[in-house]
């Protein structure tokens, strides 16, 4: 599903970015511009990051 409609970024792409080292939504902004349009996706994107870190890498969400 699309998390960022303005920049057409999906949850799958965000999870891939986490596996490549992303831990903060700001890194997704640098990579794709996520959150730099209307900005309403930033909280959801961070939740996708935190959830994927917790589930796959064993890092507890902050
Ligand atoms: Fe991501 Fe608008 S939905 S910036």
Dist CA 62 CA 35 (whole Å)? 20
Range of the domain at 19: 2-61
Hey, which of 2, 6, 43 would you mutate to test ligand 1's pocket, going by the most ligand atoms within 8 Å of its Cβ?
Answer: 6
pLDDT tens-digit profile of 5-15?
999 999 999 99
Dist CA 53 CA 14 (whole Å)? 11
Angle at which helices 11-19 and 25-32 cross, to 10°: 110
What pLDDT sits at residue 17? Answer: 97
What pLDDT sits at residue 53? Answer: 94
- The CA 52 to ligand 1 mean position distance, Å, reads 20
Number of domains in the chain: 1
What pLDDT sits at residue 56? Answer: 86
Tell which residue, 43, 41, 52, has the closest CA to residue 17. 52
* CATH number for the domain that contains residue 34: 1.10.10.1100
Q: Which of helix, strand or coil describes residue 11? A: helix
- Read off the pTM: 0.89
Asked if the model's pLDDT at residue 61 lies above 60, the reply is: no
pLDDT tens-digit profile of 21-49?
999 999 999 999 999 999 999 999 999 99
């Amino acid at each position: 599903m699309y998390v960022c409609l303005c920049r057409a970024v999906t949850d799958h792409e965000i999870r891939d970015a986490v596996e490549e080292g992303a831990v903060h939504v700001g890194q997704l902004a640098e990579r794709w511009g996520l959150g730099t349009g209307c900005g309403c996706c930033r909280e959801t994107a961070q939740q996708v990051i935190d959830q994927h870190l917790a589930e796959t890498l064993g890092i507890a969400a902050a």
